[in-house]
Structure 1
Amino acid sequence: MASLNLVEAINLALREEMARDGDILLLGEDVGREGGVFRVTEGLQQAFGEERVMDTPLAESGIVGVALGLALYGLRPVAEIQFMGFLPPALDQIISHVSRIRNRTRGEYTAPLVIRVPYGGGIHAPEHHSESTEALLVHMPGIKVVVPSTPAEACGLLKGAIRDPDPVVFLEPKRIYRAIKEEVAPGMEPLQLGQARLVREGRDLTMVAWGAMVREARQAAEQLAEDGIEAEIIDPRTLSPLDSETILASVRRTGRCLVVHEAPRTAGMGAEIAAQVAEEALLFLKAPVARVTGFDTVMPLPKAEHLYLPGAQRILRAARRLLSF
């Protein structure tokens, strides 16, 4: 068992799945010869050849459109969009065709494809490189949206996404691409999509966080534990479909809910989770649902990025306010 970071774990998942199934192929800008802008696909073209790991033009709509065509004819493409800020040109394909193909053909066709997208801030990138627009994707029926938070989770969830019969957008939190290492077993089984993960048990407060925010929530929970306060952390892993019952069961036990995400606050996933808690667990609440999020503005340039991103201290302050309500 090797100790891998997120980049290495995703590479391992792709390598093992491609070795298992000859119908899996990769396409995207610089994924072959260069191994991707973050080197996630490094070595895969050498291992599987140019016919299965293909460099494409700088044309996101074309990348996703070709991937859809390949999927409809029996292959299992994994397409890469270099940064989430480059996703809008592909949204026409995703919204108009990828998400609708099962419904449009009354189940005769489906689209078993994965769209990998590095997302989020934290790497001091320029404009269009740090977006977190996961709520936009979640709002599209027919698309599954997956966000790993650790290397092992990334490996298992990506395998699950590749084997899924429907289209999956796989969001990779690039802030933690190389920030976390953990043991990842070669040949690990795929993780089932749509199941949340209990990251940390607690009795006083439920924190819901995903992607890079899980690490920040854990740091805040550890500081709370020094004062005898036990925070439970739930990582949804799959934002669509959302495992609402695991979240609600936790909130019913603790009586408090704090949602953390780096996307803008208005109409973000935190608002949806808060609404579900209000609808299904209102009488269990000891305080209103709280959110720690990014702001309703464009991600700042590098010098001000730290002011935008939720960190452990912002989460800690929000948690203490909930606990004192």
Structure 2
Amino acid sequence: MKIGVIGSGSFGTALGSLLADKGYDVVLWTRSQELALSINKEHRNFRHLKDLILPDKLTASTDLESVVVGKDMIVSAPPSHALSEIIHKIKDIIPPKIPIVSASKGIENDSLRLVSEIFESELPGSFHSQLSYLSGPSFAKEIVSKVPTIVSIASKNEATARRVQEIFSFTYFRTYWTPDVVGVEVGGALKNVIAIAAGVADGLGFGQNTRAALITRGLTEISRMGLKMGADPMTFLGPSGMGDLVLTCCGEASRNRTVGFRLGKGEKLAAILESMNEVAEGVKTTKSAKELADKLGVEMAITQEVYKMLYEDKDPRMVVKDLMSRDLKREGVH
């Protein structure tokens, strides 16, 4: 089986490593000739996973067409803001009737489209039954290190979901399939916003109580948005909901939590982003999530406050103060 992976960030590399470890021939697309040489000659992604050795069956190329043409499956893992441009380039060369698996997470700025909506808008209808979406609590480094991991595979087509589930499942990587594409997409996108808030609380020196509060109320916000968009509420209790939220809010490897932590320590957003070599999706997603919540009339207090902190330079301590002094409410998704 020949698989093309679009995106050479840590997660795209990790999924490519997993599939190559299973014995598939995997080629990874990167814009960097230097990175392609590093993967092909040294079996290392020196930019994102430099301490880990990658499987021999994982190679890299800077030629996007060669990564797509003639493949039996495509895995798409670029930052969500780059997705539309990439799909536009490859839509006429994707082989027919092969699974297309998206691992990007986010809500597109301006259009407010979920990743699934971007794919369905940009690709002809003949591809739609082949689309699936992978999401769940899975740090890239741990996948490459073969740490036991579970994820969700969402697709509107059961045969596609089950096929992708079979391809990805391995001794250390367990997959659960679901038809709830919207729920998986909403959970995967919005958990990054809540993780920024959790990082801020940690950076300010607050304790486990505060983090637990943000995770709990963050899940309420995610569920509220998801239900408004037609998701299955049970999805938010699974790997792509609560699972991914807990990992991203608590794990030190979380890029979004790191952004929040450094904001809580007093650093400025521009300097933080300039110093990072990977995209923290939650920064752009916060803007989209806030605008989508406004458009749909969904109450999302944490998201609104994170937006003010990122885009209106609100003091992190005032964010916490204002969240804690809101009107008292009934518990639940209301």
Structure (1 or 2) with the greater strand fraction: 1
TM-score of the pair, normalised by structure 1: 0.45
TM-score of the pair, normalised by structure 2: 0.44
Structure (1 or 2) with the greater helix fraction: 2
